Structure 1
Amino acid sequence: MSVSRDNDPEQHSDSAADTASSDATPPIRSQSPLASTNANASADPVWIKPGSAAFRRISIALFLAGYATFSLIYCVQPLLPELANHFVVGPAESSLALSLTTGFLAFAILLAGAVSEAVGRKQLMLISICVASVLNLIAPFLSDWHAFLVVRALEGLMLGGVPAVAMAYLAEEIDPKGLGMTMGIYISGTAIGGLSGRVVIGFLTDLFGWHVALGAMGALGLIAALGFAVLLPASRNFVKRPGFQVGYHLRAWGGHLKHAGLPFVFLIGAFAMGCFVTVFNYVGFRLSDAPYGLSQSQIGLIFVVYLCGSVTSSIAGALSDKIGRGPVLVVGLLLAALGVGLTVSDSLSVIIGGIVVLTSGFFVAHSIASGWVGRLAETAKGHASSLYLLAYYLGSSIMGSVGGWFWDQGGWNAVAGFAGSLLLCALLCGLYLWGRAAKVVRQSQTRVARTA
């Protein structure tokens, strides 16, 4: 994740530039309903201190929640060729098993925070993980393709109750000095869950078949839910509040969509994620066919390249502190495009190398874009982040399925061309943001020079 700079000129000068623009909107109150609820709940919050037993329990519980959520979401991605063969559907249609999950997840994230204010943080997360795990246990027993898709869509709807709510719980309960650590542990759980969900299911499929493998992921989700329920303490600084303030949320989202820069960041998330998921959705079809003939476990191992993303995203954050977000974002997108180009090769080693380069570039771009959201959004930052996640997962859902049409029509070269066009769109948005940031800096320097 990108690391913020206190002396970044963009932080202090974006406001003036946006207010001067013709599409500027009245400022939205920075205090959300959540903030006011917490303020009323306790003038002196009872923080959980780093190093305490409760701190360790929360860290483990949120790790389990992140693991369960993202392993359940992505466990079907390596199985798409198996699902296509079993249900006798094409590659594009098989991708709906993942696309519907991420699509419903995107919309559920928007509403999960408000719902949790009525039912409670822990309760919503626990219900979400349990129901999604049970649905994953049911899915292998379904013989109808459309019923299978309904179950996967419901999983996405339920799992939307974890990401946003987990972060809200941590922000309310953990001492600010330890918040970064617990948030990092939760994020590591999501990363390991997404990775193991893809890799472990490949090995289980080779050993026992995809039905058992998919059911096993559901069972692991229930075990994680049990650990989560036992370990996570009840909220101390949260008061349930019924109702949903529609007007406030609509104003917050609308204000961000009228911002001069934020919509372009949202589009970068959509296009970059769309490219990334498209490549990983259909590379399994290519590598399971002749002349490669890789097994499910071998294809699953390809997802280990996700580990490259954790390294490059950290490097990207440090670089952005030194040279700015714009150039790092553009380099990340160009790196991803190079990776897509390499996958056109017939050499298996070059294809794998291309996937590594694509993954590295994607995580650079994603880390910079997600960090840029918080910097550009001066108020209602949570709403801005939710819009970014909405665009991010909709890009995954829509573009990931559209890529199947290109696979059917022109094979891998067509898929690579489609993925490259998505990166081109993201690059154009990135160049605009880079230019806008540079303009804001120049305006700030001019104002300083005039007042000197």
Structure 2
Amino acid sequence: MHDIPKAAVETPSETPSLTQNPEGPVKSAGSSAVKGVIKGADMASTQIRRGTADYRRVNLALVAAGFSTFAILYCVQALLPIFSRDFGLSPGAASLALSATSATLAVALLGAGQISDMRGRKAMMALCLFSVGALTVLSAFAGTWGQLLAIRALEGLLLSGVPAVAMAYLAEEIHPSDLGGAMGLYIAGNAYGGMTGRVLASLIVDYMDSWRIALGIIGSLGVAAALAFTLLLPPSRHFVAIPRPPLSSLHHPFLRHFKDPGLRWLFLTSFLLMGSFVTVYNYASYRLVEPPFSLGAGPAGAIFLVYLFGGWASASFGRWASRFERGRMLITGVLLMLFGLLLTLSSSLWLTVAGITCVTIGFFGGHAVASGWVGQRAEIARAQAASLYLFNYYMGSSIIGSLGGWFYAGAGWTGLAILIGCLLLVALFVATRLARIEQVKPISTTRV
């Protein structure tokens, strides 16, 4: 998806903080039910509606937040060949600039939402955005590779304080009938932020031949976006802090999800699809700047523009999944990724670009199906199910993304394609298992 998974989009009302909604009190008996209905009506009457000035401010603020978050996260993907040159690194070692961030982000996402449930929304997001922007500027002055990696790892921890919290803010503050539009704009900011960060970084290094200038400029834009976010976003009106849950109870929902075979396969799917996708993009720049293509950094970075197909693929596969079954569409997405991977083995630039485009469409389509499936299949604690999906999503990016570098260094693009092809064959097997489970046990639609 876009860079924020659809699972998070489809389950905003399931975050722990949102238990302060009308559905909870209504389930009580007697006067409690009446009070719950009144409370829900009062809340709805004060939520932000489309067409108002506050609605526009919220959308602008969260588009800025999503743009900044994912531009900073993924800008280094276009800089990997420059890191290899300036620090004398192998492709696998250079890829740690992204993997270090995505790994700490994956782990931190498991707890970021719960911290926000206790501490609040806007202040936490603003602090994280300012901090990440400042750290990115600071990374431009890193003296060693180790220093740069340490800063990038810290950025991953702080980046976790934006995506899940932004979803919760929207679900609390935007009227339900207008929530879909607001969420869609936020996701668009995420996707285009990731694309622009990559393209902008590649253009800067093409003209100025300096990764330091690229990170400095992108970090400065991140600070500016944080300032815009802080000035624009209205304060929370419906946030209700919840007490810190006992540590002994935190693991129960996670264990429950792993008992469901369908969810286990879906978590594995997120790991395999995201890992394969990021690995293609990590080393596509290397392949395009080397013979037989020998493109400059700017033209090579333009490959990230095929991300524009991602939004169409996500929306289309999402619609088709309800018409043709999720399992079939997930299989289609994986097969399309495999077909695109085969095309990238060509020495023709146009066939290679077409192959990366197919990989992109297949990934976003398959990811949209799988992430939405998680939200539908989880019978309880859907926020925790979404966080497990996200955890595997970013761990796939981190682990497979770095592993691919060693294959590329040892056997070139062919070796990398063999690795990814094997992973996608496993994903195809998993997709067929999910298709069978879908036939045997229909997904649950019960809301908890």
Q: Secondary structure at the match of 2:207?
A: helix
Tell me what 2:110 maps to: 110
Return the match for 1:35 from 2, 15, 18: 18
1:81 has 2:81 as partner:
yes
The offset of 1:115, in angstroms, is 1.0
Whether the aligned pair in 2 keeps the contact of 1:3 and 1:321 (CA below 8 Å) is: no
The offset of 1:244, in angstroms, is 4.1
Residues 56-88 of structure 1 show CA distances to partners (whole Å, capped at 9, x for unaligned) of: 100110111100000000000010000111111
CA change 1:261–1:408 in 2 (3 A) is same
Q: Secondary structure at the match of 1:286?
A: helix
Tell me what 1:380 maps to: 381
Instruction: Give the TM-score normalised by structure 1.
Output: 0.89
Whether the aligned pair in 2 keeps the contact of 1:3 and 1:317 (CA below 8 Å) is: no
Q: Secondary structure at the match of 1:75?
A: helix
The offset of 1:242, in angstroms, is 4.7
Question: What is the RMSD computed on CA atoms of the aligned residues?
Answer: 2.0
Whether the aligned pair in 2 keeps the contact of 1:38 and 1:238 (CA below 8 Å) is: no
The offset of 1:207, in angstroms, is 2.0
CA change 1:98–1:414 in 2 (3 A) is same
Whether the aligned pair in 2 keeps the contact of 1:3 and 1:318 (CA below 8 Å) is: no
The offset of 1:245, in angstroms, is 3.9
State the distance in 1 between where 2:173 and 2:6 align. Answer: 23
State the distance in 1 between where 2:197 and 2:419 align. Answer: 27
Of the structure 1 ranges 202-211 and 48-57, higher mean CA displacement relative to structure 2 is found in: 202-211
State the distance in 1 between where 2:317 and 2:19 align. Answer: 35
Tell me what 1:331 maps to: 332
Residues 334-391 of structure 1 show CA distances to partners (whole Å, capped at 9, x for unaligned) of: 0000101111111111111110111111111101000100111121111111100000
Residues 64-117 of structure 1 show CA distances to partners (whole Å, capped at 9, x for unaligned) of: 110000000000001000011111111100000001111111111111111112
Tell me what 2:68 maps to: 68
The offset of 1:439, in angstroms, is 2.0
Q: Which runs of 5+ in 2 are unaligned?
A: 8-12, 26-35, 444-448
State the distance in 2 between where 1:214 and 1:421 align. Answer: 35
Matches within 5 A, 1:386-397: 386-397=387-398
State the distance in 2 between where 1:328 and 1:101 align. Answer: 31
CA change 1:435–1:38 in 2 (3 A) is closer
CA change 1:56–1:372 in 2 (3 A) is same
State the distance in 1 between where 2:246 and 2:308 align. Answer: 40
State the distance in 1 between where 2:15 and 2:62 align. Answer: 24
Whether the aligned pair in 2 keeps the contact of 1:199 and 1:304 (CA below 8 Å) is: yes
Whether the aligned pair in 2 keeps the contact of 1:276 and 1:362 (CA below 8 Å) is: yes
Instruction: Give the TM-score normalised by structure 2.
Output: 0.90
Matches within 5 A, 1:1-150: 33-37=16-20, 44-45=42-43, 46-150=46-150
State the distance in 1 between where 2:333 and 2:305 align. Answer: 20
Supply the AA of the counterpart residue of 1:128.
C
CA change 1:434–1:246 in 2 (3 A) is same
Q: How many residues align?
A: 417
Whether the aligned pair in 2 keeps the contact of 1:114 and 1:244 (CA below 8 Å) is: no
The offset of 1:36, in angstroms, is 3.6
Whether the aligned pair in 1 keeps the contact of 2:288 and 2:300 (CA below 8 Å) is: yes
1:202 has 2:185 as partner:
no
Tell me what 2:311 maps to: 310
Tell me what 1:162 maps to: 162
Tell me what 1:402 maps to: 403
The offset of 1:38, in angstroms, is 5.6
Identical counterparts, % of pairs: 44
Tell me what 2:10 maps to: none
CA change 1:55–1:291 in 2 (3 A) is same
State the distance in 2 between where 1:118 and 1:74 align. Answer: 30
Tell me what 2:189 maps to: 189
Tell me what 2:250 maps to: 249
Residues 242-276 of structure 1 show CA distances to partners (whole Å, capped at 9, x for unaligned) of: 52443443111111111121010011110011111
Deviating beyond 4 angstroms after TM superposition, the runs of 4 or more aligned structure 1 residues are 1-4, 30-33, 37-43
1:213 has 2:214 as partner:
yes
The offset of 1:323, in angstroms, is 1.1
Residues 149-198 of structure 1 show CA distances to partners (whole Å, capped at 9, x for unaligned) of: 00001111100101100000000111001100100010000011001000
State the distance in 1 between where 2:369 and 2:326 align. Answer: 6
Whether the aligned pair in 1 keeps the contact of 2:58 and 2:233 (CA below 8 Å) is: yes
Supply the AA of the counterpart residue of 1:168.
A
CA change 1:129–1:327 in 2 (3 A) is same
Supply the AA of the counterpart residue of 1:203.
L
Supply the AA of the counterpart residue of 1:237.
H
Q: Secondary structure at the match of 1:141?
A: coil
State the distance in 2 between where 1:309 and 1:433 align. Answer: 23
The offset of 1:441, in angstroms, is 5.5
1:439 has 2:422 as partner:
no
CA change 1:31–1:181 in 2 (3 A) is closer
CA change 1:285–1:291 in 2 (3 A) is same
CA change 1:32–1:100 in 2 (3 A) is closer
Matches within 5 A, 1:264-303: 264-303=265-304
Matches within 5 A, 1:323-362: 323-362=324-363
State the distance in 1 between where 2:15 and 2:141 align. Answer: 44
Of the structure 1 ranges 297-306 and 242-251, higher mean CA displacement relative to structure 2 is found in: 242-251
CA change 1:32–1:163 in 2 (3 A) is closer
State the distance in 1 between where 2:21 and 2:207 align. Answer: 50
Supply the AA of the counterpart residue of 1:158.
L
